[in-house]
Amino acid sequence: MIQLPLLGTALILGLRHGIDLDHIAALVDICGASAGEPRLRKKGLLLSLAYALGHALVITILGLAAISFAALLPAWIDTVMERVVGLTLVVLGLYLLNTVFGAIKNADTFKFKSRWTAFYSWLREAFAKLTKQSVSAEEPVLTAQGTFAIGMLHGIGAETATQVLLISAVGGVASQTTAIAMLVAFVLGLVASNTFIAIISLGGFGTAANWRPLYLLGGGLAGAFSLFVGGTFLLGAVD
Protein backbone atom coordinates (compact mmCIF):
# COMPACT_ATOMS: atom_id res chain seq x y z
CA MET A 1 0.00 0.00 0.00
CA ILE A 2 1.34 3.42 -0.96
CA GLN A 3 1.92 5.70 2.05
CA LEU A 4 0.45 9.13 1.35
CA PRO A 5 2.86 11.04 3.67
CA LEU A 6 5.81 9.68 1.68
CA LEU A 7 4.08 10.53 -1.59
CA GLY A 8 3.40 14.02 -0.29
CA THR A 9 7.03 14.42 0.73
CA ALA A 10 8.21 13.44 -2.76
CA LEU A 11 5.76 15.83 -4.43
CA ILE A 12 6.78 18.74 -2.20
CA LEU A 13 10.48 18.02 -2.73
CA GLY A 14 9.85 17.95 -6.48
CA LEU A 15 8.00 21.26 -6.34
CA ARG A 16 10.78 22.70 -4.18
CA HIS A 17 13.51 21.42 -6.48
CA GLY A 18 11.71 23.02 -9.40
CA ILE A 19 12.27 26.46 -7.85
CA ASP A 20 15.95 25.80 -7.18
CA LEU A 21 18.08 28.83 -8.03
CA ASP A 22 19.56 27.09 -11.06
CA HIS A 23 16.11 26.26 -12.43
CA ILE A 24 14.83 29.80 -11.98
CA ALA A 25 17.94 31.35 -13.52
CA ALA A 26 17.91 28.95 -16.48
CA LEU A 27 14.19 29.40 -17.14
CA VAL A 28 14.43 33.18 -16.86
CA ASP A 29 17.29 33.04 -19.38
CA ILE A 30 15.27 30.81 -21.71
CA CYS A 31 12.11 32.92 -21.44
CA GLY A 32 13.85 36.29 -21.35
CA ALA A 33 13.77 36.95 -25.08
CA SER A 34 10.12 35.91 -25.30
CA ALA A 35 8.77 37.73 -22.23
CA GLY A 36 6.15 40.30 -23.10
CA GLU A 37 6.06 39.27 -26.76
CA PRO A 38 2.82 37.34 -27.48
CA ARG A 39 4.07 35.93 -30.79
CA LEU A 40 7.16 34.46 -29.10
CA ARG A 41 5.51 33.09 -25.96
CA LYS A 42 4.61 29.75 -27.53
CA LYS A 43 8.23 29.17 -28.52
CA GLY A 44 9.42 30.22 -25.07
CA LEU A 45 7.00 27.80 -23.42
CA LEU A 46 8.13 24.95 -25.70
CA LEU A 47 11.79 25.67 -24.90
CA SER A 48 11.00 25.71 -21.18
CA LEU A 49 9.10 22.43 -21.46
CA ALA A 50 12.06 20.87 -23.29
CA TYR A 51 14.32 21.99 -20.44
CA ALA A 52 12.00 20.48 -17.81
CA LEU A 53 11.66 17.20 -19.73
CA GLY A 54 15.42 16.89 -20.16
CA HIS A 55 15.88 17.29 -16.43
CA ALA A 56 13.00 14.90 -15.68
CA LEU A 57 14.47 12.23 -17.98
CA VAL A 58 17.77 12.11 -16.09
CA ILE A 59 15.99 12.07 -12.72
CA THR A 60 13.80 9.17 -13.88
CA ILE A 61 16.80 7.16 -15.09
CA LEU A 62 18.72 7.75 -11.85
CA GLY A 63 15.66 7.01 -9.75
CA LEU A 64 14.78 3.74 -11.49
CA ALA A 65 18.40 2.61 -11.20
CA ALA A 66 18.38 3.34 -7.47
CA ILE A 67 15.02 1.57 -7.00
CA SER A 68 16.28 -1.51 -8.86
CA PHE A 69 19.37 -1.62 -6.64
CA ALA A 70 17.24 -1.26 -3.50
CA ALA A 71 15.10 -4.23 -4.60
CA LEU A 72 18.18 -6.49 -4.36
CA LEU A 73 18.77 -5.69 -0.68
CA PRO A 74 17.69 -8.21 2.03
CA ALA A 75 14.45 -7.58 3.96
CA TRP A 76 16.19 -7.11 7.34
CA ILE A 77 17.79 -3.90 6.14
CA ASP A 78 14.40 -2.12 6.09
CA THR A 79 14.58 -1.32 9.82
CA VAL A 80 18.06 0.14 9.44
CA MET A 81 17.02 2.08 6.35
CA GLU A 82 14.10 3.67 8.23
CA ARG A 83 16.57 5.31 10.61
CA VAL A 84 19.01 6.22 7.82
CA VAL A 85 16.23 7.72 5.73
CA GLY A 86 14.88 9.62 8.72
CA LEU A 87 18.30 11.08 9.45
CA THR A 88 18.79 11.99 5.78
CA LEU A 89 15.42 13.73 5.66
CA VAL A 90 16.27 15.72 8.79
CA VAL A 91 19.64 16.73 7.32
CA LEU A 92 17.94 17.72 4.04
CA GLY A 93 15.36 19.75 5.96
CA LEU A 94 18.06 21.57 7.90
CA TYR A 95 19.95 22.23 4.67
CA LEU A 96 16.89 23.73 2.98
CA LEU A 97 16.12 25.94 5.98
CA ASN A 98 19.76 27.02 6.14
CA THR A 99 19.67 28.13 2.49
CA VAL A 100 16.53 30.15 3.21
CA PHE A 101 18.06 31.85 6.25
CA GLY A 102 21.24 32.47 4.25
CA ALA A 103 19.27 34.15 1.46
CA ILE A 104 17.48 36.34 4.01
CA LYS A 105 20.71 37.24 5.81
CA ASN A 106 22.57 38.05 2.58
CA ALA A 107 19.71 39.81 0.83
CA ASP A 108 22.00 42.44 -0.69
CA THR A 109 24.23 39.88 -2.39
CA PHE A 110 21.47 37.39 -3.29
CA LYS A 111 21.85 36.56 -6.99
CA PHE A 112 20.52 33.97 -9.40
CA LYS A 113 23.09 32.38 -11.64
CA SER A 114 22.53 29.45 -13.95
CA ARG A 115 25.75 27.43 -13.92
CA TRP A 116 24.37 24.83 -16.35
CA THR A 117 23.33 27.38 -18.96
CA ALA A 118 26.83 28.85 -18.74
CA PHE A 119 28.34 25.35 -19.00
CA TYR A 120 26.22 24.61 -22.08
CA SER A 121 27.45 27.83 -23.69
CA TRP A 122 31.04 26.82 -22.92
CA LEU A 123 30.51 23.38 -24.49
CA ARG A 124 28.97 25.01 -27.55
CA GLU A 125 31.95 27.31 -27.98
CA ALA A 126 34.43 24.46 -27.43
CA PHE A 127 32.67 22.30 -30.03
CA ALA A 128 32.69 25.20 -32.49
CA LYS A 129 36.43 25.64 -32.02
CA LEU A 130 37.11 21.93 -32.51
CA THR A 131 35.07 21.90 -35.71
CA LYS A 132 36.52 25.27 -36.77
CA GLN A 133 33.10 26.90 -36.98
CA SER A 134 32.47 30.58 -36.34
CA VAL A 135 31.05 31.49 -32.94
CA SER A 136 28.84 34.51 -32.44
CA ALA A 137 29.87 36.87 -29.68
CA GLU A 138 26.21 37.25 -28.75
CA GLU A 139 24.25 34.88 -26.54
CA PRO A 140 23.50 31.62 -28.38
CA VAL A 141 20.01 31.25 -29.82
CA LEU A 142 18.55 28.34 -27.88
CA THR A 143 16.69 25.53 -29.59
CA ALA A 144 14.51 22.79 -28.12
CA GLN A 145 17.46 20.40 -28.38
CA GLY A 146 19.69 22.92 -26.63
CA THR A 147 17.35 23.52 -23.71
CA PHE A 148 16.72 19.76 -23.44
CA ALA A 149 20.50 19.29 -23.14
CA ILE A 150 20.73 22.02 -20.49
CA GLY A 151 18.00 20.26 -18.52
CA MET A 152 19.89 16.96 -18.73
CA LEU A 153 23.10 18.64 -17.56
CA HIS A 154 21.24 20.03 -14.57
CA GLY A 155 19.83 16.57 -13.89
CA ILE A 156 23.34 15.19 -13.42
CA GLY A 157 24.00 17.80 -10.70
CA ALA A 158 24.89 16.49 -7.24
CA GLU A 159 21.81 17.91 -5.51
CA THR A 160 19.46 16.20 -7.93
CA ALA A 161 21.20 12.84 -7.63
CA THR A 162 21.11 13.08 -3.83
CA GLN A 163 17.39 13.78 -3.80
CA VAL A 164 16.65 10.94 -6.21
CA LEU A 165 18.62 8.49 -4.06
CA LEU A 166 16.82 9.82 -1.00
CA ILE A 167 13.39 9.34 -2.57
CA SER A 168 14.29 5.84 -3.73
CA ALA A 169 15.54 4.94 -0.26
CA VAL A 170 12.39 6.26 1.41
CA GLY A 171 10.20 4.38 -1.05
CA GLY A 172 12.24 1.25 -0.51
CA VAL A 173 11.25 1.22 3.16
CA ALA A 174 7.66 0.47 2.18
CA SER A 175 7.69 -1.21 -1.24
CA GLN A 176 9.03 -0.92 -4.74
CA THR A 177 5.61 0.29 -5.88
CA THR A 178 5.77 3.13 -3.37
CA ALA A 179 9.27 4.01 -4.55
CA ILE A 180 8.15 4.30 -8.16
CA ALA A 181 5.07 6.31 -7.15
CA MET A 182 7.29 8.70 -5.18
CA LEU A 183 9.65 9.08 -8.12
CA VAL A 184 6.71 9.94 -10.38
CA ALA A 185 5.41 12.43 -7.79
CA PHE A 186 8.83 14.08 -7.55
CA VAL A 187 9.11 14.41 -11.34
CA LEU A 188 5.56 15.75 -11.65
CA GLY A 189 6.27 18.32 -8.95
CA LEU A 190 9.45 19.37 -10.74
CA VAL A 191 7.77 19.76 -14.15
CA ALA A 192 4.78 21.57 -12.61
CA SER A 193 6.87 24.18 -10.81
CA ASN A 194 9.17 24.63 -13.83
CA THR A 195 6.14 25.18 -16.06
CA PHE A 196 4.66 27.67 -13.59
CA ILE A 197 7.90 29.67 -13.52
CA ALA A 198 8.05 29.65 -17.33
CA ILE A 199 4.44 30.85 -17.74
CA ILE A 200 4.88 33.68 -15.25
CA SER A 201 8.23 34.67 -16.79
CA LEU A 202 6.71 34.76 -20.27
CA GLY A 203 4.00 37.03 -18.93
CA GLY A 204 6.58 39.70 -18.22
CA PHE A 205 7.59 38.74 -14.69
CA GLY A 206 11.00 37.89 -16.08
CA THR A 207 13.34 39.43 -13.54
CA ALA A 208 15.08 36.69 -11.57
CA ALA A 209 15.14 38.76 -8.37
CA ASN A 210 11.34 38.83 -8.37
CA TRP A 211 11.35 35.09 -7.67
CA ARG A 212 13.13 35.52 -4.34
CA PRO A 213 9.93 35.46 -2.18
CA LEU A 214 8.72 32.25 -3.86
CA TYR A 215 12.13 30.64 -3.38
CA LEU A 216 12.12 31.55 0.31
CA LEU A 217 8.54 30.33 0.85
CA GLY A 218 9.06 27.07 -1.04
CA GLY A 219 12.35 26.35 0.69
CA GLY A 220 10.88 27.03 4.12
CA LEU A 221 7.83 24.81 3.60
CA ALA A 222 9.85 21.95 2.08
CA GLY A 223 12.43 22.16 4.88
CA ALA A 224 9.80 22.07 7.62
CA PHE A 225 7.92 19.16 6.01
CA SER A 226 11.16 17.24 5.51
CA LEU A 227 12.02 17.68 9.20
CA PHE A 228 8.56 16.45 10.22
CA VAL A 229 8.61 13.30 8.07
CA GLY A 230 12.25 12.61 8.95
CA GLY A 231 11.39 12.87 12.64
CA THR A 232 8.64 10.26 12.30
CA PHE A 233 11.12 7.84 10.73
CA LEU A 234 13.74 8.42 13.42
CA LEU A 235 11.15 7.87 16.16
CA GLY A 236 9.87 4.71 14.48
CA ALA A 237 6.38 6.16 14.05
CA VAL A 238 5.99 4.83 10.49
CA ASP A 239 3.39 2.12 9.98
Give the separation between CA 115 and CA 120, rounded to whole angstroms: 9
Report the half-sphere exposure of 228 (CA within 13 A, side-chain side). 11
The candidate with the shortest Cα–Cα distance to 183, out of 195, 166, 158, 206, is 166
Give the pLDDT band of residue 50 (cuts 50, 70, 90): very high
- Mean pLDDT value across residues 108-130: 61
Residue-averaged pLDDT of the chain: 72
Distance CA 101, CA 71 (A): 38
Side chain identity at residue 62, one-letter code? L
Q: Which residues contact 121 (CB under 8 A, 6 or more apart)?
A: 139, 140
Are the CB atoms for 32 and 203 separated by under 8 Å? Answer: no
Q: How confident is the model at residue 114 (pLDDT cuts 50, 70, 90)?
A: very low
* pLDDT surpassing 60 at residue 158: no
> What is the DSSP secondary-structure string of 77-135?
HHHHHHHHHHHHHHHHHHHHHHHHHHHHHTGGG-----HHHHHHHHHHHHHHHHTT---
Q: Residue 110 contacts by C-beta under 8 Å, 6 or more apart in sequence?
A: 103, 209, 212
Q: What's the CA gap between 92 and 213, in Å, rounded?
A: 20
Q: How far is residue 192 CA from its own chain's centroid? A: 11
* Distinct helix (H) and strand (E) counts, the chain: 9, 0
Q: What is the pLDDT of residue 164?
A: 66
Least confident of 31-45, 95-109, 110-124, 128-142: 110-124
pLDDT at 60: 87
Could you tell me which of 219, 193, 196, 190 has the C-alpha nearest to residue 58? 190
SS3 percent helix, strand, coil of the chain, rounded to 5, is: 80, 0, 20
pTM, full prediction: 0.65
pLDDT at 171 over 90: no
